[in-house]
Structure 1
Amino acid sequence: MKILIVENEIYLAQSIATKLNHLGFDCENISSVKEALNIQLVDIILLSTNIAGEDFYPLIEKFQNAIIILMIPYVNDDTVTFPLQAGASDYIVKPFMIDELIRKIKHFTSYKRLQKEISFYKDYFCNSLINPNYAINTKISFPLIIKSVSQKTIDTYVINYAFVKKLSINFHSLYKTPKFQDYLKSISKQQLNYIIGFETLTKDKREEFLKKLKNAPIILSCLGEEIESLSNVHQINIKNIPQSFEEDILSVDEYVKTTILKFEDKYPDTELSKKLGMSRKSLWEKRKKYGIAKKK
Structure 2
Amino acid sequence: MNILVIENEIYLAQKIVSRLINDGHNCDHIDLPNTDAFTKEYDVILLSTSFPFNFCNNIIKKYNENCIILLVSYISDETVTLHIKSGAKDYIMKPFIMNELIRKIHHYKECKDINKELQKLRNYFQFTMLDINTTDVLSATSFPILIETNVQKHADKLVYELSIKMALPVIFISLSAKDWQNKINAIRRTSILYLTNYHTLRKCSKENLLKIIEKKNCIISTLEEELDFPYTKVEARNEKGLLANSNIMTIPDYVKAMVTSYQHKYTDTELSKKLGISRKSLWERRKKFDIEKRVLIS
Same-fold call, TM > 0.5?
Answer: yes
Distance of 2:152 and 2:23 partners within structure 1? 42
Match of 1:276 in 2: none
Larger Rg: 2
- Equivalent AA in structure 2 for residue 17 of structure 1: V
SS in 2 for 1:84: helix
8 Å Cα contact 1:153/1:242 also seen in 2: no
* TM-score, with structure 2 as normaliser: 0.68
CA distance in 1, matches of 2:235, 2:77: 61
Q: Are 1:67 and 2:62 matched, yes or no? A: no
TM-score scaled by structure 1?
0.68
CA contact (8 A) 2:201 2:291 kept: no
**CA–CA separation in structure 1 for the residues paired with 2:80 and 2:138:** 50
Question: Which structure 2 residues correspond to residues 50-89 of structure 1 after superposition, within 5 A?
Answer: 50-51=50-51, 55-89=55-89
CA distance in 1, matches of 2:141, 2:72: 58
Superposition pairs of residues 219-230 of structure 1, within 5 angstroms: 219-222=219-222, 224=223, 226=224, 228=226, 230=228
Counterpart of 1:213, as a letter, is I
* Structure 1 residue 134 displacement after superposition: 3.9
Root mean square deviation, CA, Å: 4.3
CA distance in 1, matches of 2:53, 2:158: 60
Cα 1:204/1:172, change in 2 over 3 Å: farther
Cα contact 1:46–1:69 (8 A) shared by 2: yes
> C-alpha distance in 2, partners of 1:238/1:211?
24
- C-alpha distance after superposition, 1:27-84 (max 9, x if no partner): 3333333146633522210112235899322211210111111112233333223322
2:50 partner letter = N
Aligned to 1:232: 230
Q: Deviation per CA, 1:101-153: give whole Å up to 9, x if none.
A: 1222233233444555666677778895795524459x995422223342211
- Assess, with a 3 A threshold, how the Cα gap between structure 1 residues 230 and 237 changes in structure 2: closer, same or farther: same
Distance 1:187 1:53 in 2: 48
The answer as to 2:254 corresponding to 1:259 is yes
Q: Which residue of 2 aligns with 1:167?
A: 166
> Which of 128, 132, 135 is residue 133 of structure 1 equivalent to?
135
Mark the CA change 1:200 to 1:295 in structure 2 (over 3 Å): closer, same or farther: closer
Q: Residue 293 of structure 1 aligns to which amino acid in structure 2?
A: D
- The within-5 A match list for 1:1-296 is 1-35=1-35, 38-51=38-51, 55-116=55-116, 133-136=135-138, 142-160=143-161, 166-175=165-174, 178-188=179-189, 192-199=192-199, 201-222=201-222, 224=223, 226=224, 228=226, 230-236=228-234, 238-241=236-239, 246=243, 249-250=246-247, 255-256=249-250, 259-264=254-259, 266-267=274-275, 293-294=290-291
Contiguous gaps of at least 5 residues in structure 2: 260-270, 279-284, 294-298
- Tell me: CA distance 1:2–1:183, structure 2 relative to 1, closer, same or farther (3 Å): farther
Find the aligned partners of 1:267 and 1:57 in 2 and give their Cα distance.
71
